[in-house]
Structure 1
């Protein structure tokens, strides 16, 4: 009995160990969010697209030479600049790289392509994802 107790204790310790997400898991989660954003945008669902962003006044967006702050401000800007499906069109991302900053943050660089009735558009982006309360959210976006 004396030898069984330490074995049981070791078994319990190792079986209760929680696994941390790997970089591969993190990248897959980030790619999934970007895929959901492409789908929502292409369905003219701007609020669905915005679900990938941190719903905070600290969200930072940089484009056209100016910085804006806040989730609500970013949503309003998107709705003003892309009011109908004619302007949103179909969105496709091409991811150049996903780079780990630390255990809870990554930056993503890539290109976007809009095929739309109002005229095609494309450009580049760099976004920063942060794990907040166990969920990946975009906390910073620079697009041009």
Structure 2
């Protein structure tokens, strides 16, 4: 199972190439700060039940991949639709907190992020882990693949 997961990550990285090949990639410290900032913005949006704002951290493209308990979803619009269906009110979204365990460079323009999510809600808390691939696309760090469970 772990080898399939690793193979999926490698395929995702090479299949989701940026259209802007001449991007100058910032230093590793700048990258990590940008990724942390993106995820902090996602927490704020989520906690305000702003799912469209939460999705701004993702690559707005049909090649975005999200792998979760319901299987593999392709595309930004489909991921947003799934979030809206699963979390239709602030009662379901609750309060989200990310704990970033590791941010590692995979290649120029791509980083792998391991972490935990903690969702506090009146209807029951939800906690889990995630692996996210960020790619530098057109001057911004965007999530191109999200594997959460």
TM-score range, shorter chain: 0.7 to 0.9
How far 1:29 moved relative to its partner?
Answer: 0.2
- Return the alpha-carbon distance in structure 1 between the equivalents of residues 25 and 127 of structure 2: 37
Q: 1:108 aligns with which of 103, 107, 113?
A: 113
Hey, which bits of structure 1, 4+ residues long, moved more than 4 A? none
1:88 matched to 2:93:
yes
- Asked if structure 1 preserves the Cα contact closer than 8 Å seen for 2:136 and 2:142, the reply is yes
SS at match of 1:51: helix
- Return the alpha-carbon distance in structure 1 between the equivalents of residues 86 and 25 of structure 2: 40
Q: TM-score, normalised by structure 2?
A: 0.82
CA RMSD in angstroms comes to 1.1
1:52 paired residue number: 57
1:61 paired residue number: 66
Quick one: higher RCO (CA 8 Å, sep 6+), 1 or 2? 2
1:34 paired residue number: 39
**Structure 2: runs of 5+ lacking an equivalent:** 1-23
How far 1:117 moved relative to its partner?
Answer: 1.6
**Structure 1: runs of 5+ lacking an equivalent:** 1-18
Residues 99-134 of structure 1, C-alpha deviations (whole Å, 9 max, x = no match): 101120001000000011221100000000000001
Residues 21-69 of structure 1, C-alpha deviations (whole Å, 9 max, x = no match): 2100000000000000000000100000000000000000000151110
1:77 paired residue number: 82
- Return the alpha-carbon distance in structure 1 between the equivalents of residues 132 and 70 of structure 2: 16
